[in-house]
A and B are shown apart, each in its own frame.
Chain A
Amino acid sequence: MNAIQERRLRELRSRVLVRAFDYRQRRLARGVWFRLRRVLAFASEAYALPRDEAERLIAEGHQPEPVGQELEPPRVILYVSRERLAGIASARPLAVRLSAEVLSAEFLALVPFEVEAG
């Protein structure tokens, strides 16, 4: 084994160890990023909302996603239908990815992907 192969093997094994640690900690703070990515992955669209609109949606019965409260500062992340969001002129569309815009949005509305029947 030459030095490069040895280094690649060592790096790979290190990553495996880190991943095993991440897995064991997945239900704790270490798993927050996975939970956030998962919530975003199920969204076809994302919008930043003003506080009053987010509060109105919560009053209507929309439940904030728990992962938003695990972040610091906490975020309000709501799944909302496209139809309901169409009535909110101040909703600002964002690309669905781990961007600074998405991560800094204090109130985030996500349109869920439609689930095919069957």
Chain B
Amino acid sequence: MSPLPILLGVTFRDRLVATIRAARPVLESPGVLVVGSEVPNLLEAGAAATLVVSQDLDVGVPVDRHAALKQRLGDLREFEPSADEPSVWTPRSAGLLELNFVGMDPAQDPAEAYVFEDDRLPLLVFGGLSLVSRGAEVEIAGTRLALPRPAGLLLEKLVTDRTGEKGERDLLVALGVLATSAPEDLDELESLYRRLRPELRHAVRSNLTILSLLAPRSGMPDPQPRRAEVTALLRRLETGDPEIV
């Protein structure tokens, strides 16, 4: 039997907080950011974690900080590298989420990706994360962790090709970031968007139309009540864009 939704939320937040506590050695490594689906949860007041239910914690590692992070991997006692995917560290107990290490390279093209080779922690470096920069720090479970600036993360979610089940979930994560964004975050988003090349601007607008039409999903932000916000953002980005079809 599935747990009641409210119990699911409590259980999930407990797992998220326990994961952050257990991952402290890497989360407090210089330059490291939490990126991905947990960010909307952590941006909520008190890190309430009511927006997205996820099975992993994405840890963004700037490639020029990889060496420092690697030195701390030995302190990560409650996780072990996955045999299949060495950038994923799986928990030794069921009460924790997986850690998914991803590389960040600010010099990278947003549409490209490469592998940062390493014998212990190779990283897939996703170009979309070049749009992400360091934002607020929060303290959770005695761990100080850095979050991305909402504008960059939102743009990263919208500029990346989103297809299939995972793609739709990623767009709903973008909705969660939008839900926790302030007006100045949207100003920054627009500024970043204007700097993208036309193909990527089109990708952003295309993903916004998909997001606007998604059906609700369990454990994810409901897109229906926020359609007007999504459309307002689409209209704002279209305004003055010479590439509008």
Residues of A within 8 A of B (CB): 1-2, 4-6, 8-9, 12-13, 15-16, 18-20, 23, 26-27, 31, 34-35, 37-38, 40-42, 44, 95-98, 113, 115-116
Residues of B within 8 A of A (CB): 84-87, 111-115, 117, 122, 124, 126, 161, 163, 198-199, 202-203, 205-206, 208-210, 212-215, 224, 227-228, 230-232, 234-235, 245
Main secondary structure, interface of A, reads helix
Closest residue of chain A to B235, judged by CB?
A115
9 contacts between A and B (CB under 8 A): A12-B161, A19-B161, A23-B203, A27-B245, A34-B209, A37-B209, A38-B245, A41-B208, A42-B234
Min CB distance, A56 to chain B, in Å? Answer: 28
**Alpha-carbon separation in the docked complex, A118 to B187 (Å):** 15
Q: Is the CB of A15 within 8 A of B202?
A: no
Q: Which of A31, A40, A44, A115 contacts B245 (CB 8 A)?
A: A31
Q: Is the CB of A37 within 8 A of B227?
A: no
Q: Is the CB of B115 within 8 A of A13?
A: no
Chain A residues closer than 8 Å to B124, beta-carbon distance: 5, 8-9
Q: Is the CB of A23 within 8 A of B202?
A: yes
Q: Which of A9, A37, A42, A113 contacts B115 (CB 8 A)?
A: A9
Chain A residues closer than 8 Å to B209, beta-carbon distance: 34, 37-38, 40-41
- Other CB < 8 Å A-B pairs besides A16-B111, A41-B208, A95-B224, 6 of them? A6-B115, A13-B113, A26-B245, A42-B231, A97-B213, A98-B213
